[in-house]
């Protein structure tokens, strides 16, 4: 098959024709599964697993948006979520929508499974309604330096058929194909279909995490995959292109398997450090003798920048009572107080520093 970047790509159906018994696949699958198993076990052992979600999803959101050249920081994104969406900076708005889309997809996964409905719903969470839904016109990926097309997705007419094949592949188990390998395959295929006018990359990266959760390789959508892709961005795009141009599935799958391995290990370490920091907060409060509600200590880990109003809502207490508790945490050097416009902020500076490490 001749690949012509300026013409709609005649994307072959799944599964691809390749040697699934390649020993290199087996070695990397074993390594990745070991790390994913430890991450899943650690998550399941926590008394409040929801504490894992906010830190992991925030890091994933920022890295995924950075791949699209949308740049912000952990602290800026946390601050901006205090404002109404109409007042948020565009970059932070995109990051926060990514987190919303990840949570929405995970919540809907039991009912919608990995389906076209889930895919469209995720993209609708990411983008304003005017841009949501399958494209109805041709699309091209252009080299920004040369202005030349590097890839032309299949025609809009083929989207439903190709996504139907994608769904069939996802829901028809093949004992030759480990779910991690299948996850890499479905990621390429989705990006190659390119069903939307915008949001394909972000939707595709969310789908990878949900795929692993659907196949019970993750308990929660906590894997920080975009960090790996971001660090190796040129290689990632080069290997995607090689699948289209030369049918080189093997190199792309090996690249993604290494990513699953590295990111499971890194995410586990980040979560271990986050929970260790939470225990330090608990110990410091207990040793001080202060009667600070444990729910507030957890709240400054799910929301590392908090206002008294949010704390009062979380605890079900008056604003002044919540402020008193936040000031006590500040006195213990666990939080840092500051002001941003009309907002009085209390920041978990140690957790923000941990989340900012890339």
Closest CA to 56 of 225, 215, 187, 207: 225
- In a domain, residue 207? The reply is yes
Q: Are residues 72 and 219 in the same domain?
A: yes
Show Cβ contacts of residue 64 under 8 Å, excluding neighbours closer than 6 positions: 98, 201, 202, 205, 206, 226, 230
Q: Are residues 71 and 163 in the same domain?
A: yes
Please tell me the predicted confidence (pLDDT) of residue 145: 82
Q: Are residues 65 and 206 in the same domain?
A: yes
CATH of residue 341: 1.10.10.10
- In a domain, residue 294? The reply is yes
Q: Are residues 200 and 78 in the same domain?
A: yes
Domain boundary among 269, 303, 335: 269
Helix axes 50-67 and 200-214, enclosed angle (nearest 10): 150
Gap between the Cα atoms of 132 and 127, Å rounded: 6
Residues paired with 142 in a beta bridge: 149
Q: Would you mind telling me the total number of residues written for the chain in this entry?
A: 358
Domain boundary among 238, 269, 300: 269
Q: Are residues 185 and 123 in the same domain?
A: yes
Q: Are residues 221 and 109 in the same domain?
A: yes
Domain boundary among 269, 298, 320: 269
Q: Are residues 308 and 245 in the same domain?
A: no
- In a domain, residue 81? The reply is yes
Gap between the Cα atoms of 121 and 143, Å rounded: 29
Please tell me the predicted confidence (pLDDT) of residue 52: 66
Gap between the Cα atoms of 134 and 156, Å rounded: 8
- In a domain, residue 1? The reply is no
CATH of residue 73: 1.10.3290.10
Please tell me the predicted confidence (pLDDT) of residue 358: 57
Please count the structural domains in the chain.
Answer: 2
How far the first Cα of the chain sits from its last, in Å, is: 40
Q: Are residues 52 and 106 in the same domain?
A: yes
Closest CA to 260 of 219, 227, 220: 227
Q: Which two tokens stand for residue 44?
A: 């399941």
Q: Are residues 62 and 140 in the same domain?
A: yes
- In a domain, residue 15? The reply is no
Number of Cβ within 10 Å of residue 247's Cβ equals: 14
Q: Are residues 348 and 207 in the same domain?
A: no
- In a domain, residue 2? The reply is no
Q: Is 346 helix (H, G, I), strand (E, B) or coil?
A: strand
Q: Which domain holds residue 349?
A: 290-356
Please tell me the predicted confidence (pLDDT) of residue 348: 94
- In a domain, residue 178? The reply is yes
Q: Are residues 259 and 296 in the same domain?
A: no
Gap between the Cα atoms of 309 and 70, Å rounded: 30
Please tell me the predicted confidence (pLDDT) of residue 1: 59
DSSP letter (8 states) at residue 357: -
Gap between the Cα atoms of 200 and 159, Å rounded: 13
Q: Are residues 182 and 257 in the same domain?
A: yes
Please tell me the predicted confidence (pLDDT) of residue 63: 83
Instruction: Give per-10-residue mean pLDDT for the chain (358 aa).
Output: 86 94 95 94 74 76 80 80 75 84 94 95 85 84 86 95 96 92 98 94 95 93 88 94 95 98 91 89 94 92 90 92 95 93 89 83
Provide the CA 218 distance to its chain's centre, in angstroms: 13
- In a domain, residue 302? The reply is yes
Do the beta carbons of residue 131 and residue 197 sit within 8 Å?
yes
């Amino acid at each position: 098959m001749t690949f012509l970047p300026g013409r709609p790509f005649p994307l072959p159906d799944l599964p691809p024709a390749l040697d699934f018994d390649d020993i290199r696949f087996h070695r990397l699958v074993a390594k990745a599964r070991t790390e994913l198993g430890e991450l899943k076990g650690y998550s399941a052992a926590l008394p409040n697993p929801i504490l894992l979600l906010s830190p992991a999803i925030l890091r994933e959101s920022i890295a995924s948006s950075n791949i699209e050249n949308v740049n912000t920081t952990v602290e800026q994104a946390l601050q901006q979520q205090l404002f109404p969406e109409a007042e948020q900076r565009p970059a932070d708005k995109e990051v926060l929508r990514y987190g919303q889309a990840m949570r929405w997809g995970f919540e809907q996964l039991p009912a919608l499974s990995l389906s076209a409905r889930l895919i469209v719903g995720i993209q609708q969470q990411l983008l304003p309604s005017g841009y949501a839904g399958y494209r109805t016109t041709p699309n091209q990926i252009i080299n920004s330096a040369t202005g030349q097309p590097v890839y032309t997705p299949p025609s809009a007419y083929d989207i439903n058929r190709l996504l139907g094949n994608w769904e069939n592949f996802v829901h028809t188990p093949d004992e030759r194909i480990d779910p991690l390998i299948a996850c890499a395959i479905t990621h390429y295929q989705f990006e190659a279909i390119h069903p939307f006018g915008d949001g394909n990359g972000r939707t595709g990266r969310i789908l990878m995490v949900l795929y692993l959760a659907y196949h019970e390789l993750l308990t929660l959508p906590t894997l920080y995959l975009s960090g790996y892709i971001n660090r190796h961005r040129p290689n990632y795009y080069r290997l995607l292109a090689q699948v289209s141009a030369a049918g080189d599935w093997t190199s792309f799958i090996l690249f993604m398997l290494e990513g699953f391995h590295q990111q499971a290990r890194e995410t586990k370490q980040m979560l271990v450090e986050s929970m260790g920091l939470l225990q330090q907060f608990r110990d410091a409060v207990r040793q001080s003798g202060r009667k600070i509600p444990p729910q507030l200590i957890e709240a400054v880990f799910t929301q590392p920048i908090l206002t008294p109003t949010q704390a009062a809502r979380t605890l079900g207490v008056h604003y002044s009572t919540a402020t008193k508790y936040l000031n006590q945490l500040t006195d213990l050097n666990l939080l840092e107080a500051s002001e941003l416009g009309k907002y009085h902020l209390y920041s978990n500076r140690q957790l923000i520093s941990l989340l900012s490490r890339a």
